[in-house]
Chains A and B, each alone.
Chain A
Amino acid sequence: KNEVEQSPQNLTAQEGEFITINCSYSVGISALHWLQQHPGGGIVSLFMLSSGKKKHGRLIATINIQEKHSSLHITASHPRDSAVYICAVSSNTGNQFYFGTGTSLTVIP
């Protein structure tokens, strides 16, 4: 079983839709990260959070430490949001990051 599970694996949305990507983890963490990876491209860190909620533009990330669950929301989705979104956690017992397998998002105009 992976330390980090994401759902859904693939997601197709119409432009303007509200999108939610979920992440559950099973290890103790010091922080949770949401990353964005464009096709053939590098990785950008969107959020790092250890509690509560953060907002950046149309992106919102929340975390529930007790339930070991985080969500990434995209409001008013746009085709340029099409990418793979990866949930990652930094373990509080070692030096590692654990990664989810990613959610491939396609936003159709």
Chain B
Amino acid sequence: NAGVMQNPRHLVRRRGQEARLRCSPMKGHSHVYWYRQLPEEGLKFMVYLQKENIIDESGMPKERFSAEFPKEGPSILRIQQVVRGDSAAYFCASSPSRTKTGNTIYFGEGSWLTVV
């Protein structure tokens, strides 16, 4: 049973380009979370999605960032017009149901975005 799969693992983008990060949750998991880890900082919540729905995006920057989790296919975190400050590790996690109920959460390996 494959774990949470993220790709690409490493992505380099020039300022102003778009970055797309993909996350396939564990089989049977319908809840996906995205977290960002800035250099020398801890993990920060960005967005929580269920299939076709954004449940909580309170951690997402208001501009340039968007996320989706379509009915078919992986969840995608999209960053438009990237800036150097977007350079970070982006982690995806999945759970079978809401973390509020105390389910174990499984993390992907992370996607490292470098903006040059």
Contacts and interface: CB of A to CB of B under 8 A. Distances in A.
A48 B104 CA distance: 6
B99 to A, nearest CB: 4
15 contacts: A30-B101, A44-B107, A45-B104, A90-B102, A94-B56, A95-B56, A95-B100, A96-B48, A96-B56, A96-B58, A97-B33, A97-B35, A97-B99, A97-B105, A101-B41
A99 B44 contact: yes
Interface of A: 30-31, 33, 35, 41-45, 48, 50, 86, 88, 90-102
Interface residues of B, number: 26
Most interface-central of A86, A88, A95, A99 (chain B CB within 10 A): A95
A48 B102 contact: yes
A90 to B, nearest CB: 4
Given A95-B48, A95-B98, A97-B45, A43 B55 contact: no
A100 B44 CA distance: 10
Contacts, number: 70
Contact of A42 (B48, B100, B108): B108
Given A90-B99, A91-B99, 16 more contacts: A30-B99, A30-B101, A30-B102, A31-B102, A33-B105, A86-B43, A91-B100, A94-B56, A94-B100, A95-B55, A96-B48, A96-B58, A97-B33, A97-B35, A97-B99, A99-B35
Interface of B: 33, 35, 41-45, 48, 55-56, 58-59, 91, 98-110
A30 B42 contact: no
A76 to B, nearest CB: 26
B108 to A, nearest CB: 6
B42 A43 contact: no
Q: Lowest 6 CB-CB distances: which A-B pairs, in order? A: A42-B109, A31-B102, A43-B107, A30-B102, A90-B99, A101-B42
A94 B105 CA distance: 15
